Amino acid sequence: MARHAQSRARTRLSRRSKAVGGLALSTLVGTALWAWPASGDDHNSATDAKSTTSSTASGPDTPRVPVSAAKSAPNAAPNPPAGRPIPGLSDAARKRIPADSRQVLVVTGKNMDSFESRVVLYTREKDSDDWEPGPTWSAHNAAHGWTDDHRYGDLRSPIGVYPLTDAGGLLAPPEGTKLPYDRNGSFVADGTGVDGEPLAGAFDYVIAINYNREQGTSPLDQQRPWGAAKGGGVWLHVDHDGPTQGCISLKPKVMRELLRTLDPDLHPVIVMGPADY
């Protein structure tokens, strides 16, 4: 995979070309380097994430345990909750939410091939099965939509339920951040995105989605428990007004709010996919 600190120039895709699909993304021009991708599989650090100095906000460190399955999280509840459930999810998706989770970030795409989505954070009180919704935010997902079999470079976001345990970014963590936070100069997004939009600031704030990554490490960590072919580096990050390569992007103020709100003691997870997943 390419690294964050490098800058590359690549062939830009228009929304029309993405709809047709299958067009070649590569062709080197002279000796020029490629521009950084919008987000997703290619944004690994040029520096070993574990060797850099990190700034960890308040909250316990999470253990280094690999995510065990693409569409499940540890300690999954055997049955959907008996109280007020999260609307718009299938029973299968509800069953994959861990029994001890009290924060669920639901990302819903318009359809299987859309790169536009909406995001709602649901919370529940201790010993309650009633999920309460927060505000609804707009977001972008991958340029070609969604997949339940994500592969490196497919320009689709992985469908599933994944823990949210680690954060980081180029900027200092917002006051009150609870997730372990790696402030690191390697969170750099240069060049342009899939639609030609500038990427500057996209990695100011990042929350790692535990798809094919080692839990309890910096989002920059390059370990891929399921192998490189399954992709990785799938994050929540700052929106750059265009589709991503696999991540979910939100406005800066929303990312700051999530960093202040998500609490490792409440075992937050993300449920992501097209409508009615």
Q: Is residue 86, in this structure, part of any structural domain at all?
A: no
Q: Look at 73 and 84; give whichever has higher pLDDT.
A: 84
Q: Is the pLDDT of residue 1 over 50?
A: no
Is pLDDT above 50 for 11?
Answer: no
Residue 267 CA to residue 75 CA, distance in Å, equals 11
Q: SS3 for 57?
A: coil
Domain count for the chain, please give it: 1
pLDDT of residue 39: 58
Looking at the predicted structure, is the pLDDT value of residue 240 above 60? Answer: yes
Closest CA to 52 of 193, 190, 264, 222: 222
Mean pLDDT of 21-29: 35
Nearest to 10 by CA among 214, 176, 182, 153: 153
Q: What is the pLDDT of residues 140-151, one digit of tens each?
A: 999 999 999 999
More confident residue, 186 or 58: 186
- Which has the closest alpha carbon to 205: 180, 237, 182? 237
How far is the CA of 41 from the CAs of 20, 60, 112, 168, in angstroms? 22, 28, 19, 17
Indicate whether 83 belongs to any domain: no
Q: Between 87 and 14, whose confidence is greater?
A: 87
Q: pLDDT of 74-120, one tens digit each?
A: 444 444 445 899 999 999 999 999 999 999 999 999 999 999 999 99
Q: Three-class SS of residue 50?
A: helix
- Residue 266 forms part of a structural domain: yes
Whether 71 shows a pLDDT value over 80: the answer reads no
The torsion angles phi and psi of 258, rounded to 5 degrees, stand at: -65, -40
The alpha carbon torsion through 182, 188, 192, 194 (nearest 10 deg) reads -30
Residue 146 lies in a domain: yes
Residue 176 inside a domain? The answer is yes
Domain presence at residue 268: yes
Q: Is 239 inside any structural domain?
A: yes
Question: Is residue 41 very low, low, confident or very high in pLDDT (cuts 50, 70, 90)?
Answer: confident
Name the residue with higher pLDDT: 22 or 108.
Answer: 108
> With DSSP H G I counted as helix, E B as strand and the rest as coil, what are the percentages for the chain, rounded to 5?
10, 25, 65
User: Can you give the residue range of the structural domain that contains 176?
Assistant: 100-274
pLDDT score for 191: 87
In a domain, 18, yes or no: no
pLDDT of residue 6 exceeding 80, the answer is no
* 21-25, 112-116, 156-160, 273-277: segment of lowest average pLDDT: 21-25
